[in-house]
Amino acid sequence: MRKPPASLGSAGLRILHIADRVLTPDLDGASARDRAILQAFQRLECRITFVAHHPDSFYAFARTVARDIASLEAAGIEVARPPETPSVEALLAERGRDFHLVLMSPYPIAHRYLPAVRRHAPAALAVYDAMDVGHVQHYRRAKATGNVPDLKRAIEAKRQELALARLADAVLVCSDEDREAFHRLCPGARLVVASHVVPPRPASMRLEGRSGLIFLGSFPHLANVDAMTYFVREVLPAARAALPELELTIVGLDPRGDLAPLVGPGVTLAGWVPDLDAVFARARVFVAPLRYGAGIKVKVLDSLARGVPVVATPLAAEGLHLCDGESALIAEGPEEFAAAVVHLHGDPPLWRRLVDGGHAVLDRHFSESAMDASLAPLLAGPLERREHDGAAR
């Protein structure tokens, strides 16, 4: 385990982040937001230790574990891993009292480890980070697909998230909509909105030479598979009837090959792409036809940052402060969505207006300063407790 530099900032609080696997911010949006939160805590002069329940990650992400650990360590984050740290429980038992705040996600991980955090780090602020509101996500999927197991998962997720809202010291959520979902679940919970950090990239904002549609997603996440299946089968044919040369490029990790049946006229599977800027620089419109999910859709923010305007379902736009016709086009149903795609693809003034509007949304709601301002109040209690303990000694 490589430890960060010994010097402490003016705050010097120690934070432990317990996750299900090593973060892969270039492969999935949840990891990207987790990394943004850790970077914010670093800007607030905290020291971060990271530990994963699955230190070797999952099948879809295992090939990059060494690189992803090295990336965390290069950023000054201590990564606890075998053999020095055989388990999360071992780390808590050995060093729990060193931490001032413990951040846990997703909900199965937080539910599993919260009792151990209370036992071994009794003075630490215990925070559940709800990147996706699990029970809402599973319920929406059950409603969209009619899948009974998903409904059962929604019920179990609701039970666990209710317990976390009651027992954790705070719950981090991505949006006002997610805050309302948790408020309905547990009105007494301390809820903190900490969204994401996505800086605009003005250099990529040009219309010339662009054509076609793009979608970016991590396809171990089935909501993305469903979105592309729905779009290719029910939306794209109508769009191509109006624009016969229209092409869709699908970008992202697809380890199971779920998207292979979608390949055909007008559909290209690019897989994982190391240089997203180059792919986005060729695209004219980003499509986000998600039918279920929860939390914020980082893929939409990434597209806005790269200067590619978005056509999104209301669910895909949820929590992103987007305004239809000003910062995105929001459409529901196959015919309406196809019409919006065709309209945006062929209307340069609208295209430029949405690009500018998207960047304004990022500046206002998804900046480093906005994230830091959201998280800073969480540190007040641990700072006071540390100063009290120091004075007592």
Supply the range of the domain harboring residue 317: 202-365
Residue 91 forms part of a structural domain: yes
Q: Same domain for 54 and 85?
A: yes
> Strands (DSSP E) along 233-387, which ranges?
248-251, 267-271, 285-288, 310-312, 329-330
Residue 182: name the closest of 140, 142, 151, 136 by CA. Answer: 136
Question: In this model, does residue 5 exceed pLDDT 70?
Answer: no
Q: Same domain for 83 and 103?
A: yes
Cα–Cα distance for residue pair 225/189, rounded to 1 Å = 34
Q: What is the mean pLDDT of residues 274-294?
A: 93
Cα–Cα distance for residue pair 313/336, rounded to 1 Å = 10
Length reported for the chain: 393
Spatial contact of 194 and 32, defined as CB atoms under 8 Å apart: no
Residue 239 forms part of a structural domain: yes
Instruction: For 191, list phi and psi in degrees, rounded to 5.
Output: -115, 130
Residue 374 forms part of a structural domain: yes
What percent of the chain has a predicted confidence (pLDDT) above 70? 94
Q: Same domain for 177 and 252?
A: no
Q: Name every residue whose Cβ is closer than 8 Å to that of residue 81 and which is 6 or more positions away in sequence.
A: 1, 51, 52, 55, 69
Spatial contact of 324 and 342, defined as CB atoms under 8 Å apart: no
Q: Same domain for 124 and 252?
A: no
Tens-digit pLDDT profile for residues 370-390: 999 999 999 988 877 766 565
Q: Name every residue whose Cβ is closer than 8 Å to that of residue 251 and which is 6 or more positions away in sequence.
A: 214, 215, 216, 217, 270, 271, 272, 273, 276, 279
Cα–Cα distance for residue pair 132/199, rounded to 1 Å = 22
Q: Which pLDDT band, with edges at 50, 70 and 90, does 367 fall under?
A: very high
Residue 323 forms part of a structural domain: yes
Q: Which pLDDT band, with edges at 50, 70 and 90, does 11 fall under?
A: low
Question: In this model, does residue 391 exceed pLDDT 80?
Answer: no
Q: Same domain for 82 and 146?
A: yes
**Cα separations in angstroms, 313 against 131, 174, 292, 300:** 19, 18, 10, 11
Residue 1 forms part of a structural domain: no
Q: Which pLDDT band, with edges at 50, 70 and 90, does 279 fall under?
A: very high
Residue 2 forms part of a structural domain: no
Q: Name every residue whose Cβ is closer than 8 Å to that of residue 9 and which is 6 or more positions away in sequence.
A: 45, 46
Tens-digit pLDDT profile for residues 12-55: 899 999 999 999 998 888 999 999 999 999 999 999 999 999 99
Q: Same domain for 348 and 208?
A: yes
Q: Same domain for 136 and 282?
A: no
Question: In this model, does residue 113 exceed pLDDT 60?
Answer: yes
Tell me how many domains the chain contains.
Answer: 2
Q: Same domain for 360 and 377?
A: no
Q: Same domain for 326 and 357?
A: yes
DSSP assignment letter at 219: T
For the domain that residue 260 is a member of, what is the CATH number? 3.40.50.2000
Mean pLDDT for the chain overall: 92
Q: Same domain for 161 and 224?
A: no
Residue 9 forms part of a structural domain: no
The residues with which 324 forms a beta bridge, in sequence order, are 328
Angle of helix 348-365 relative to helix 298-305, nearest 10 degrees? 120
DSSP assignment letter at 2: P
The pTM of the full predicted model, rounded to 2 decimals, is: 0.88
Tens-digit pLDDT profile for residues 221-245: 999 999 999 999 999 999 999 999 9
Q: Same domain for 177 and 316?
A: no
Looking at residue 383, its pLDDT comes to 76
Q: What is the mean pLDDT of residues 282-304?
A: 95
Element (H, E) at 359: helix 348-365
Residue 128 forms part of a structural domain: yes
Q: Name every residue whose Cβ is closer than 8 Å to that of residue 128 and which is 6 or more positions away in sequence.
A: 104, 105, 107, 110, 114, 161, 164, 165, 168, 170, 171, 172
In single-letter form, the type of residue at position 386 comes to R
Q: Same domain for 180 and 33?
A: yes
Looking at residue 386, its pLDDT comes to 66
Looking at residue 2, its pLDDT comes to 43
